Amino acid sequence: MTTQRVAIIGLGLIGGSVGLATQAMLPQIAVTGWDADPDVRRRAAERGLVTTVCDTAEDAVRDAELVILCVPVGAMEGAARAIAHALPQNAVVSDVGSSKRSVAEGLARALPGVTIIPAHPVAGTEKSGPDAGFSELFRHRWCIVTPPEGAPPEALQRVSDFWEGLGAKVEVMEAGHHDLVLAVTSHIPHLIAYTIVGTASDLEDVTRGEVIKYSAGGFRDFTRIAASDPTMWRDVFLSNRDAVLEVLGRFTEDLTALQRAIRNGDGDTLFDLFERTRAIRRSIIEEGQDDARPDFGRSDH
């Protein structure tokens, strides 16, 4: 089942990268695209993010075999409604949202009878917008596909083949489990990073200039992910509320235990945890999920 026409709705970091990657790695596919923002459409055309930038969402999807919604998760249902009447009979609709259960529900409401195969490429940078995308973003990264029960195997195959064609490694997972895994590996880290960056900038006794000046001590690692797109992340937390609150509860318990250890001068509890966390880092390096150079090579070691 070869895909020849793909439509991308939303041309920011992810949508733009999907468009560039498709043109670079699957040149037999014609990619149409559309974005709600006319400035983004103009810029997308200038950069050639897709083969054809259309004037309406309907025009973009009219001939598509595969439609990929690349908008913030809170905008998915609306984006799906906007294309509902223009979708060809056998089109498969997918997305790239960071939470999957609520997106799947929204898409099913907006597109009754349509084959929907939600997906989530676990890749990104802290940049956003039509200038941020690049064709290599998904290479060697995971793409988690969460087909609903009873989804046609050939539709799942179409989506999986497409992402593998862009260089990604595909994993199939149940949507609810995806949401819990991502709460741990992505959503809570972002929430914590946003929080500590906010806390630091609100202190009375330490100036913002001092925070910035001495950020190399650890703080700067948090600021990178706390610079991610605000709309996207607001939507992620609201749409994956249950899993986020559950993991956040665990984190808060663990932090309270460390707080007590510090207050009581209990060095053994601290040391034991700090030893254990090193092992996780080693595994991440071994699995090729991060750069092994100290400091990510920032010190030009």
Question: Which 148-177 positions form the footprint of its own copies (CB under 8 A)?
Answer: 171, 177
Alpha helical stretches, state H, 144-300: 153-165, 175-182, 188-202, 208-213, 219-225, 230-239, 241-264, 267-286
Q: Which 229-248 positions form the footprint of its own copies (CB under 8 A)?
A: 230-231, 233-235, 237-238, 241, 244-245, 247-248
Provide φ and ψ at 124, rounded to 5°. 165, 170
Nearer to its own copies, 81 or 241 (CB): 241
Alpha-carbon distance of 53 to 271, in angstroms, equals: 56
For the CB of residue 185, give the shortest distance to its own copies in the complex, in Å.
4
For the CB of residue 123, give the shortest distance to its own copies in the complex, in Å.
7
Asked whether position 224 contacts its own copies by CB under 8 A, the answer is: yes
CA 270 to chain centre: 33
For the CB of residue 52, give the shortest distance to its own copies in the complex, in Å.
25
Q: Which 248-277 positions form the footprint of its own copies (CB under 8 A)?
A: 248, 250-252, 254-255, 258-259, 262-263, 265, 267, 270-271, 273-277
Asked whether position 24 contacts its own copies by CB under 8 A, the answer is: no
For the CB of residue 245, give the shortest distance to its own copies in the complex, in Å.
6
Question: At 251, is the secondary structure helix, strand, or coil?
Answer: helix
Amino acid at 192: I
Alpha-carbon distance of 57 to 256, in angstroms, equals: 49
Q: Which 50-69 positions form the footprint of its own copies (CB under 8 A)?
A: none
Q: Which of 137, 145, 159, 175 binds its own copies (CB under 8 A)?
A: 137
Q: Which of 142, 148, 164, 174 binds its own copies (CB under 8 A)?
A: 142
Please give the C-alpha separations between residue 91 and each of 20, 111, 117, 159, in angstroms, as whole numbers: 21, 11, 11, 11
What is the DSSP-derived secondary structure letter of residue 136? T
Nearer to its own copies, 157 or 252 (CB): 252
Asked whether position 216 contacts its own copies by CB under 8 A, the answer is: yes
For the CB of residue 111, give the shortest distance to its own copies in the complex, in Å.
24
The rounded radius of gyration (Å) of the Cα atoms in the chain is: 21
Quick one: CA dihedral 34, 36, 38, 44, positive or negative? negative
Q: Which 67-96 positions form the footprint of its own copies (CB under 8 A)?
A: 74
